């Protein structure tokens, strides 16, 4: 008599080759870090950021200077993974709400789903697909004349950095894209191919303080690199006898400058800073985290001008930085600078 097949045969989880897979798409823990809290905790304790997730930076300092209270309405202008938002929302209850903005069509739905599963319903948390440069338009659409607090955590998120297909870093080989919204604009590969030497040199100086800007521009401008590793290799070749550490630093600077250019980040920041005072209620607070000197200069100048004009009654003096302890647990906190202002 032939054997009958099992009605519900057990299916093993797909395994990857070896104990340490090289392909990001095979790393099931990185693709769903929330399912592996023990692994995530071990990675954080070792001084690393778990791939596929994001550790919010300067959280206690953000909460102190944003000062969220029950009934307040707060805008997280750069929602990202939702780390800051998830800490702010409980402090707004009862009666308050948070509006989270994010331009990334890939990460924003994931974050919204994560926030919903954490118990933050539509009544207290709204996610909106928008660039923070359109802050005034968003608030008008929400029927709000002003809000009690605004937070902006600038730069690129860990999820974007860690996903090879986004092309933000050389951690893995991937297409040289770098767009926060991959449905708009042109990728970094095309942007670099269209640049002449003078334009690229200016971008490298202004957007990443690169001391070798002119030499690098002579070798890179107008060339088409399809992948992140191809561009990184060309940068290292262009640096000749520089040490490996110097080469790595310059590669990061080149990638940073291109990313800022592709996403027009500084133009968006200037538009946002111009709108902030009119979007705050009297006594409202704004907190901004920056990650390079060009961003910080613009925030400092805007806040100082607002103080001189009487728009702000108080602004931060020295920048606030992450403690050595936080930098150990989260190395990506090292370049962060926090500034805040209170509307008159």
H helix runs in the chain, sequence order = 28-31, 37-45, 59-66, 83-88, 107-117, 135-141, 158-162, 188-194, 197-208, 213-220, 228-238, 244-263, 265-279, 293-308, 324-329
User: What are the pLDDT digits (tens) for 5-53?
Assistant: 555 555 555 555 554 555 555 554 555 566 666 665 666 566 555 555 6
Closest by Cα among 19, 90, 74, 110 to 285: 74
The partner residues of 314 in beta bridges, in order of sequence, read 342
Write out the two tokens for 54.
């994001």
Provide the CA 130 distance to its chain's centre, in angstroms.
14
Rounded-to-integer distance, Cα 144 and Cα 320, Å? 30
Question: Alpha carbon of 68 to those of 11, 26, 316: distances in Å?
Answer: 48, 40, 18
Look at 1 and 234; give whichever has higher pLDDT: 234
User: What are the pLDDT digits (tens) for 175-186?
Assistant: 999 999 999 999
Domain ranges in the chain are: 59-158+266-343, 168-263
Q: Considering the entire predicted model, what is its pTM?
A: 0.84
Contact between 108 and 140 (Cβ < 8 Å): no
Rounded-to-integer distance, Cα 103 and Cα 116, Å? 19
State the CATH architecture for 59-158+266-343. 3-Layer(aba) Sandwich (3.40)
Options 1.10.150.170, 3.90.1150.10, 3.30.1360.170, 3.40.50.720; CATH of 168-263? 1.10.150.170
pLDDT range class, residue 332, cuts 50, 70, 90: confident
∠17-23-28 over CA atoms, to 5°? Answer: 75
């Amino acid at each position: 008599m032939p054997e009958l097949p099992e009605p519900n045969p057990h299916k093993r989880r797909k395994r990857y080759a070896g104990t340490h897979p090289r392909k990001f798409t095979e790393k099931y823990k990185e693709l769903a870090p929330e399912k592996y809290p023990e692994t995530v905790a071990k990675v954080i304790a070792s001084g690393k950021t778990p791939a596929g997730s994001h550790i919010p930076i300067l959280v206690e300092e953000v909460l102190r200077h944003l000062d969220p209270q029950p009934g307040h309405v707060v805008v997280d202008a750069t929602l990202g993974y939702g780390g800051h938002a998830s800490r702010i929302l409980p402090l707004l209850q009862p009666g308050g709400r948070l509006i989270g903005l994010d331009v990334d069509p890939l990460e924003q739905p994931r974050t919204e789903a994560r926030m919903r599963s954490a118990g933050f319903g539509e009544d207290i948390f709204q996610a909106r697909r928008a660039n923070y440069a359109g802050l005034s338009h968003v608030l008008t659409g929400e029927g709000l004349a002003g809000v009690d607090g605004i937070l902006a955590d600038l730069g690129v998120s860990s999820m974007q950095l860690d996903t090879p297909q986004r092309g933000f870093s050389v951690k893995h080989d991937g297409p040289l894209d770098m767009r926060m919204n991959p449905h708009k604009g042109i990728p970094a590969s095309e942007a670099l191919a269209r640049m002449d030497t003078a334009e690229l040199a200016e971008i490298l100086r202004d957007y990443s303080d690169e001391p070798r800007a002119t030499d690098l521009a002579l070798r890179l401008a107008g060339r088409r690199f399809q992948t992140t590793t191809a561009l990184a290799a060309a940068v290292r070749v262009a640096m000749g006898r520089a040490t490996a550490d110097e080469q790595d630093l310059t590669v990061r600077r080149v990638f940073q400058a291109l990313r800022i250019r592709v996403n027009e980040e500084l133009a968006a920041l200037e538009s946002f800073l111009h709108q902030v005072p009119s979007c705050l209620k009297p006594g409202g607070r704004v907190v901004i985290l920056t990650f390079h000197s060009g961003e910080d200069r613009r925030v400092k100048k805007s806040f100082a001008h607002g103080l001189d004009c009487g728009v702000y009654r108080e602004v931060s003096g020295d920048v606030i930085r992450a403690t050595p302890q936080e930098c150990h647990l989260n190395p990506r906190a090292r370049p962060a600078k926090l500034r805040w202002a209170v509307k008159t």
